[in-house]
Chains A and B, each alone.
Chain A
Amino acid sequence: MTFFQRNSLALRLLWRDWRAGEITLLAAAIVIAVSSLTTVSFFTDRVQRALILQSNQLLGGDLSIISDRPFTSEFAEAARTRGLAVTSALRFPSMATAGGESLLTDIKVVSAGYPLRGEVKLADALFGAERTTRDIPAPGTAWVDERLLSRLSVKPGDSVTVGRLRLRIAALVTQEPDSVIGFINSAPKLMMNDSDVAASGLIQAGSRVRYRLYIAGETAGVDEFRTWAQTRIGAGQTIEGIRDARPEIRSALERAERFLGLAALVSVILSAVAIALAARRFLRRHLDGCAIMRCLGARQSTVVSLYLVHFIALGLVAAIAGCIIGYAAQFALASWLASFLAVALPLPSLAPAIYGLAAGVLLLLGFGLPPLVTLSQVSTLRVLRRDLGLPRAAGLAGYALGFAVICGLVLSKTQDLRLGAFVLGGFVAAAAVSVVLILGLLRLLTQVRAGGGVSFRYGVANLRRHAMANTIQVVALALGMMALLTLTLIRGDLLYSWQATLKPDAPNRFVVGIQAEQVQPLDAFFAARSIAKPVIFPMVRGRLIAINGRTLSSTDYTEDRARRLIDREFNLSWAERPQPDNRIVAGRWWDDPAARIDQLSVEEGIAATLGLKLEDRLTYDVAGSTFEATITSLRKVEWDSFRANFFVVAPPRLLEGLPVSYMTSLFVPSTQTATLNELVREFPNVVVIDVAQIMAQVQKMMDQVTNAVQFVFLFTLAAGLLVLYTAIASTRDEREYEAAIMRTLGASRRQIAATQLAEFSLMGALAGLLAAAGASALGYALALKVLHVPYEANHWIWLIGVVAGSIGIAIAGMLGARRVLAAPPLQSLRRIA
């Protein structure tokens, strides 16, 4: 047989099998696996390409230095002497008001030349035509985003007040460089001219200002400047270049890729099970054909290569279909997740499609080849004696290639050997526990089946006969159901538990950036409106620079949080008495603050993160001057109370003379929100943060993320159902045959249907039980480890899991097995026996 003849025969066989419906299930399994993989990889590929293609657009320059204090002039000078273009911007939160409404806004102050790279796009009205500009807002004007327009009900041409300054809205910004991802920064935006800042009076002690310097020019000059700048920057200053652009996007992307990728892998693993089952059915159905081919002189190798071509062609076609579905489905993911990215996503590259095609073909070969090899070993005697049965199966070892493919996929998703091993190990362990559990339950059911009716008894007998195969089905279905239960019930419970920790009269507004001279007038303001006078706390922004005389660097720590705490300034406060909701857990609070002033009380969580203990001496840098003090107590703080609280508190006189601002938290009933607008009018520099709004943002973000995850898990459920359907299909002949025997023995359709109903609903109940257990364990882990809320076990989940599982699987199973009831008994017996 020539190469051409063989391939053409293989393709003709493939076509005939397709027409006969012999390979629909194999194809469906590949399509599900590939579409779930490529949905995620097309999406992450688009984000990656956005980062590569738009890196300097994202950065606003070729290099950018970010600082929490103003730059000394040497940076700009050093850049200019190297022939580089320089501009700067600063950014801070503030209140913008218009027509009596006030809104927490992300203010960006830009100077001439901004942006050095990338473009700003403007429109004159909502949804108006876009134009690109090389200018910055003229003095006295502001450019705002669509959210500010809609939230303050203003339009271009209207005025908006920031601080003491009234700005005319000149345009609507539709795109700008260096916008930041993440919900915290998703406040409405306003861009204004550098020359207006002084008049606004917005930058005062305690303002959270991020300064940014943009550099652009010849690569050599930029590199040289970078090397120079690296030696000049201090704590709280970082350099970002094109190569390391937007680390926050990168790490968010990596996390998303890992998480969604692993979620997609669950469906791949289930699809692999479906492929293995469908391939065995394929084997059984093709034994006769192969025996005849062998009789007619085909060698084993011919049979293998014939079906190899057959499988590769099938794998490719199905994987292409999967890629097309994945390509379409990634738009859904993008619609939920891209809103965090503030980046226009380019179309994806071909890489995910190639990845999908390779994965599809390899999966089919890995899990389809073992039965295929068996096919080549079929005895030619089968032509004479059909009862010879199946050639010896390849066993688990035959699936080595399949396992290798799965391991490869897991590692390619985790990009980390340890995590990959952890995921695989976890999966194998969970599967093993589930298998043992299900086998045990089946055994138990067998014990009690004598007590049940004939349908129940026979249903149990059916389940137990293919105990292993049925267990695999139950576990596969349970995985799909667990994903859904977690995302519906458990997610609701967790949100509820979290919200339940908030008291209804918990403070719902933070007022920050109050200046010393505003404290008295603010008290008067509240008194005049008969609002309970809130406690106003002093706040000094300082950076921890040394512990026990040893200078700190963020590289001393491995934990991200610790590094951030070292890099950034954080808020210190002073107090005579501890706050009522604080509890001293070690050391003593200063009873007589006059006795010793160089004391500090530290929150226990931050102490643990930074490795601080009682009697450690901490050195702080506050706006260039330093002080030293000893930790004399550790406190436990109820952060969930949403009352103002501080990591580090000192006795009153220690922080005297340092730049101070004040803050408070208060509960404002919804009927009195107008008061807040008055407050902002009277004290234009203060920033009012709406806790409810932040909570709403967090919730919206969680909703969008869960939508995305839920979407990926739909593939898991589809794969779980496919496993069920394939398993039913692979035992359909057996079922039909047994139903025929029962019919000859006088069983009615109803009795046979009842038997199958018992079998499927038992299987569904077992899967539901397992799914409920898994989802509860997951919810428990999430509550304790991630959300840090007490977990309220939801007992309904067991009932819902079992009932929904048995009804759902019974319906799916009866649909899959309906043909069994339709055929006349003699026909079935003839065809199968």
Chain B
Amino acid sequence: MPIVRAVGLSKQVETGDARLTILDEVTFDIAEGEAVAILGASGSGKSTLLGLLAGLDTPTTGVVSIAGTNLFELDEDGRAVLRSQLVGFVFQSFQLLPALTALENVMLPLELAGAAGAQIRAQAMLERVGLDARVRHYPKQLSGGEQQRVAIARAFVREPRVLFADEPTGNLDSATGAQIIDLMFELNRERNTTLILVTHDEAMSRRCARALKLVAGRLSNGE
């Protein structure tokens, strides 16, 4: 059974009188442990697709199932629970909570799910991403690369079955970006996580086993 399945996924938005189609009848499967890139130019709908796959947004039509559960048969809270159990995120702009320390940021998903030993696990995860010296620092005291490492630690600490990464190196210089990508793929291999990576960078997409190419809201034949 595929871990992620999208069937006939469409998203349209009303803009005044007009109807704008952002995604149009997208269908694909992703197998467990696979690394897949969603590739496309700006405005091709790739971030919208990621949002739908993660249940952060609702489609106009179509179905997304993760580990066999249809996301849109659940309510918002049901999707949140599912995310806390199965899904991790890495964003382009890190999206750390500024009020919390690095350690607290990593502990947060564990605590939200009521998991035991949050602090020890978060600490270990931060050591794994090489930030053992920075656990008590606040996001604003960390460099961009360090912040993204915290975000990766936060994503992996729950040992998700699926990791969504939205342009994870978009806000980093190329050397730091390369280190972050290496780290993500290492963790992906170590933990057999399914990696779904949104990028416009062809080079990065080549590191994935497969690339889904979006053109104007549709999957191009180059899949």
Contact = CB atoms under 8 A, between A and B. Distances in A.
Interface of A: 454, 457-458, 461-462, 464-465, 738, 741-751, 824-827, 829, 833
A701 B57 CA distance: 63
Contacts of B82: 746
Contacts of B76: 743, 749, 824
Interface in B59-102: 76-77, 80-85, 87, 89, 91, 93, 95, 97-100
A745 B99 contact: no
B108 A744 contact: no
A454 B54 contact: no
A746 B97 contact: no
Given A746-B80, A826-B57, A458 B89 contact: no
B104 A829 contact: no
A738 B104 CA distance: 14
B77 A745 contact: no
B1 to A, nearest CB: 22
B112 A454 contact: yes
Given A824-B58, A826-B57, A833-B95, A461 B104 contact: yes
Nearest to A461: B99
Contacts, number: 76
B129 interface: no
B89 A744 contact: yes
B111 interface: yes
Contact of B56 (A458, A465, A826): A826
B56 A748 contact: no
B112 A465 contact: no
Nearest to B109: A745
A747 B80 contact: yes
A750 B80 CA distance: 11
Contact of A744 (B56, B58, B81, B85): B56
Contact of A746 (B98, B104, B112): B112
B7 interface: no
A743 B80 contact: yes
Given A454-B111, A824-B57, A833-B95, A745 B100 contact: no
B51 A458 contact: no
A744 B54 contact: yes
A827 B57 contact: yes
A757 to B, nearest CB: 16
B95 A829 contact: yes
A746 B109 contact: yes
Contacts of B108: 454, 458, 742, 745
Contacts of B87: 746
Nearest to A822: B76
A826 B81 contact: no
B154 interface: yes
Interface string B7-50: 00000000000000000000000000000000000000000000
B93 to A, nearest CB: 6
Nearest to B98: A465
A747 B108 CA distance: 9
Nearest to B83: A746
Given A465-B98, A465-B99, A746-B85, 16 more contacts: A458-B99, A462-B99, A741-B95, A742-B97, A742-B112, A743-B56, A743-B80, A744-B83, A744-B95, A745-B84, A745-B112, A746-B80, A824-B56, A826-B56, A827-B57, A829-B95
A745 B93 contact: no
Contacts of B120: none
Nearest to B95: A741
B141 to A, nearest CB: 13
B113 interface: yes
13 contacts: A742-B108, A742-B112, A743-B83, A744-B89, A745-B83, A745-B89, A745-B109, A746-B80, A746-B83, A746-B84, A746-B112, A824-B57, A829-B95
B75 to A, nearest CB: 9
A718 to B, nearest CB: 30
B25 to A, nearest CB: 20
Contact of A741 (B51, B57, B77, B97): B97
B9 to A, nearest CB: 14
Contacts of B54: 744
A742 B82 CA distance: 13
Contacts of A829: 56, 91, 95
B107 to A, nearest CB: 8
Contact of B99 (A464, A746, A749, A751): A464
Contact of A826 (B51, B85, B99, B113): B51
